Amino acid sequence: MKKIIVAAASGLMILSACNNGATGELIGAQNRPANFGETNPYGMVFIPQGSYNMGPNDQDVPFSMTAQSKTVTVDPFWMDNTEITNNEYRQFVEWVRDSIAMRMCLMAGAGGDGKEGNLFQISVDENKYEPSDYELLTDAKTCWLNWDNRDKIWDNSGKDESRQEILNAIKDLYLIKEERFNKLQEIDTRKLVYDYYWVDLKQAALKENRYNFDATYSSGKYEGTVIDAQGNVVPIQDRRNFIMQGRIPVYPDTLVWMSDYTYSYNEPMARKYFWHVAFDDYPVVGVTWKQATAFCIWRTDLLNNFLRKNHQPMVEQYRLPTEAEWEYAARGGLALSMYPWGGPYTRNNSGCFIANFKPLRGRYADDGAARTIEVATYAPNEYGLYDMAGNVAEWTSNAFDESAYSYTHDLNPDYSYNAMADDPPVLKRKVVRGGSWKDVGYYLQVATRTYEYQDTAKCYIGFRCVRSYMGRSTSDWDYGNF
């Protein structure tokens, strides 16, 4: 019995020593989060890794020759089970609106309560930061915003002096009197501009842009050049040159319902589609590729800021799907499927159309909707994804090139190009997939590829997000099932 007790005590001593790394053995870095398992992101479904034949399963009807069959492999990822809806995109628009309004209050000194400082600014302990950092965190232009008080900006119940200060501070966010219709005080949506940042890993990964320890260890300098977000070629000072900044208006172009068509009465859609509650669950349209990309960056920051605040590991960024990911997900695991539902026809066994498109030479309403319809109205594919064909076409992250299949890799194929404002139009083409409510059946096929320009908005193009998969999922998916 004594031997057992001694052995147990020795085991505890060894375990204790292992926990603090004092044994001299290779035990790995300690104090790491244990048993990390990525939970199912809200509104997304898991797409397992796999290989498939990317490309057409049927004849190329317009003889555009923009794709050929190619065996590719994609890593696992999460994908929105529906297209981004008007209400989901409105959360982005309102976040931008509120952040601008809070910043305006801070700049004007409005929102102070005399005790805790300003309602819209997070208090910062100066003892935790260097003087230069503390200045940034307390300056009205660069400080952290207190989102717990965002509703106080629009709370008109108070009539005190502080409320009037807030109203005066944000008055420039509204339309001027000469632009108001029926004397309504409305937000000037042209002022809803989003500033965002991203790291250009593609340029950082170039061999000529790497830090050369042999040549630059003493000087501490890089040797290469980088193209910044404005298209300027600049010498690399340090890693700050790979941090890109974008600035873009976020409000959708609601007039696309009229500008896309001539001699067609679409004024009600232009007036109501984005903001009216009747269309909350309809897919957002009138969003450019650049706006969709900015939305993904905002969505990533929104989640990671929450996780960071709660001391949880951050997740991989949201983004637009690559062309290969989109087609793989649309096929739903059915290798030779022509459409997401698997069969070669656009009707089910009862003779009903199973997607929202332009059937029978222009009988738009025969499928249940003359234009867009609520997301998830039709049945999902085998992965649980809705509307991968029809309703609205979808932006992907890839640039469009007729011969892209010939030179992209067969593992996670990806051809992307960050076109600048002064680049020729041919370099601004982005791949669009899935077909829409105004397209004939050919464009609903999973392999059909077409394009639109990155700075162009259309009433028939929306988007959905993906997120690369990390770690082990807590869903029902299991390696043993494959």
For residue 239, give its domain range.
195-246
**Mean pLDDT of the chain, nearest integer:** 88
Claim to verify: residue 384 and residue 300 sit in the same structural domain: yes
3-state secondary structure of 100: helix
Same domain membership, residue 121 and residue 71: no
The β-bridge relationship of strands 429-433 and 44-47 is: unpaired
pLDDT tens string 298-310:
999 999 999 988 8
Identify the domain boundary among 218, 246, 274: 246
Say if 18 falls within a structural domain.
no
pTM confidence score: 0.91
* The pLDDT of residue 222 is above 70: yes
Of 92, 89, 79, 88, the C-alpha closest to 387 is 79
Considering only CA atoms, which of 298, 276, 274 is closest in space to residue 286? Answer: 274
Residue 389 lies in a domain: yes
- pLDDT tens-digit map of 357-388: 999 989 999 999 999 999 999 999 999 999 99
Question: What local confidence, expressed as pLDDT, does residue 295 receive?
Answer: 98
pLDDT in tens, 309-355: 888 888 899 999 999 999 999 999 998 889 999 988 999 999 999 99
Question: From CA 239, how far away is CA 241, in angstroms rounded?
Answer: 5
Per the structure, how many domains does the chain have? 3
Residue 460 resides in a domain: yes
- For residues 288 and 217, membership in a common domain is answered with no
Query: Is residue 440 in some structural domain?
Result: yes
Instruction: Assign 226 to helix, strand or coil.
Output: strand
CATH number for the domain spanning 297: value is: 3.90.1580.10
The 3-class SS string of 18-67 reads HHCCCCCCCCCCCCCCCCCEECCCCCEEEECCEEEEECCCCCCCCCCCCC
Q: Do 359 and 343 share a domain, yes or no?
A: yes
Long-range contacts of 235-239 (CB under 8 A, 24+ apart): 236/209, 239/204
What is the tens place of the pLDDT at every residue in 161-211? 788 899 999 999 999 999 999 988 999 999 999 999 999 999 999 988 888
- Pairwise pLDDT comparison (298 vs 217), residue with the higher score: 298
CA distance 18 to 12: 10
Do 55 and 188 belong to one domain? Answer: no
Please report whether residue 301 resides in a domain.
yes
Indicate whether 296 and 183 sit together in one domain: no
Residue with tokens 């004594």: 2
**Same-domain check for residues 288 and 210:** no
User: What is the per-residue pLDDT across 457-474, written as a single tens digit (0 to 9) for each?
Assistant: 999 999 999 999 986 544
Q: Does 469 lie in the same domain as 356?
A: yes
Indicate if 171 and 290 belong to the same structural domain. Answer: no
Nearest to 169 by CA among 210, 245, 112: 112
On whether residue 162 sits in a domain, the answer given is yes
Shared domain check, 476 and 362: yes
Structure token digits, residue 418: 């960050």
Are 286 and 329 found together in one domain? yes
Asked if the structure places residue 252 within a domain, the reply is no
**Residues 90-113: pLDDT tens digits?**
999 999 999 999 999 999 988 876
Q: Is residue 30 assigned to a domain?
A: no
State the DSSP H helix or E strand holding residue 16, giving kind and residue range, or none if neither: helix 2-19
Q: Based on the domain organization, do 61 and 165 belong to the same domain?
A: no
In one-letter notation, the amino acid at residue 167 is L
> Bigger pLDDT: 13 or 255?
255
Whether 479 has a pLDDT exceeding 60, the answer reads no
